[in-house]
Structure 1
Amino acid sequence: MTGVMLITGASRGLGRGFAEHYAAAGWRVHAVTRNGAALAGLAGVEIHALDITDRKAIATLRTRFAEEKLDLVVNNAGDWGPGAQDLGPIDAEAWMAVLRLNTLAPYYVGEALADPLARGRGTLVTISSGLASIEDNRSGGDYVYRSSKAAVNMVVRSLARDLAPRQITVVALSPGWVRTAMGGDQAPLSVEESVAAMRRTIAGLTLKDSGKFLNPEGKTLPW
């Protein structure tokens, strides 16, 4: 199966992994990134150099795809945030910056691209995190990142309900603990392993899965 997909945060890590995997499989890939030069020369990839936290920039995507269809949109762009996230004087502006990228941007991207997704009866995936699980939070700390991902899970849940009449499948997907700039060298999964698992899960999604929070293998995670 091939189609047309768009991914945000595509210049490195999981985002680049997604772009490379889908392009190699014959998909037409639209890669959204602030650093377009990082993807120059990647076959099968059309680069959209823009800041995904800028609503005016997101509006250009609405215009670009006004007459097209999308089979898959992956909200991958994200940030860990400030180094100090344990109980103490966390920088409020840094916290708000993470919320804009991790929580608000996925909503605005999904809203802007609902029409092309509906044309393709497509799938909207938001990359979340196991650290978003409220039930599974037994260690505390990581306030900024945890809260931004828990909040985007609620965005996903609401989008799933609101977009269901348009035959759009919406899920939150944890990539697992991956060796990226954010995950660090001690993480057990490579980008290749994580992306391959998520691709298999995405390929098997149906409307019955809409609104779920899943791990890379497609198993349900606790909210």
Structure 2
Amino acid sequence: MPRCLLITGASRGLGRALTEAYAAEGWRVHAIARHAHDLGTVPNVWVHEMELTDRKSIATLRTRFAEERLELVINNAGTWGPKAQDLGPIDAEAWIDAFRVNAMVPYYVAEALADPLARGRGTVVTITSRMGSIGDNGSGGDYVYRSSKAAANMVVRSLARDLAPRGIGAVALHPGWVRTEMGGPEAPLSIQESVDMMRRTIAGLTLKDSGKFLNLDGNALPW
């Protein structure tokens, strides 16, 4: 039986590259995307059309995967938020929306999939950012993105504690500064470089790593 994983935000950027890489390796990949047609047809990939900002939609994962055994869940879906994020007027609703996507969705996905993860002795990897590190913030600004990713890191830390009795790990993973739509053309890493490094780090994770905030190369980052 092939190894099985689920990934959110699978239709573009890092999410799509991770989906294709795991599928090419023979994993059975459940890809969550807002529009199924964005992924097309990829061998070993089962696409689930879902609006992740809708809690009722996420809750359906509980029944969709009632008999499944998941070894890995990658919470990849994320957003930068509004353009204006430095000191000054910031759109409050857009800030709340960023919190919903970056911090709340990873929690609800992990909570809904706890049973299949327990059956697979699996790991929840949440793609976060070192911009969510309080200890590493030496430049200020970017209030929406930074605060929502810091919240995501705390969600991971709590999940690690609460899921440990069921043999499930939880890790926060920084993908590096990557040339995606969000990262922009000046980023030093290509999507493929980031994905290759993250996959090596994920492959080496054990329960001893649960609760950690890691760089894509596996080194620990400051909270």
Give the structure-2-normalised TM-score. Answer: 0.99
Q: How does 1:178-217 map to 2 (within 5 A)?
A: 178-217=178-217
Q: How does 1:9-158 map to 2 (within 5 A)?
A: 9-158=9-158
Paired amino acid for 1:194: S
Q: Extract unaligned runs of 5+ from structure 1.
A: none
Paired amino acid for 1:180: T
What fraction of aligned residue pairs are identical, expressed as a percent? 71
In 2: Cα distance, 1:114 partner to 1:67 partner: 12
In 2: Cα distance, 1:184 partner to 1:97 partner: 22
1:172 aligns with 2:172: yes
- Per-residue deviation, residues 85-119 of structure 1 (Å, max 9, x unmatched): 00000000000000000000000000000000000
In 1: Cα distance, 2:188 partner to 2:84 partner: 24
Give the structure-1-normalised TM-score. Answer: 0.99
Is 1:2–1:25's contact at 8 Å kept on the other side of the alignment? no
In 2: Cα distance, 1:181 partner to 1:43 partner: 25
How far has the Cα of 1:214 moved from its partner? 0.1
Paired amino acid for 1:211: G
How far has the Cα of 1:172 moved from its partner? 0.1
- Figure out how many residues of one structure are paired with residues of the other and give that number: 223
In 1: Cα distance, 2:189 partner to 2:163 partner: 32
Paired amino acid for 1:81: G
Superposition RMSD in Å? 1.0
How far has the Cα of 1:43 moved from its partner? 1.3
How far has the Cα of 1:59 moved from its partner? 1.1
In 2: Cα distance, 1:8 partner to 1:91 partner: 26
The 4+ residue runs of structure 1 with deviation greater than 2 A are none
SS at 2:100 equivalent: helix
How far has the Cα of 1:2 moved from its partner? 5.5
How far has the Cα of 1:141 moved from its partner? 0.3
Q: Extract unaligned runs of 5+ from structure 2.
A: none
How far has the Cα of 1:69 moved from its partner? 0.8
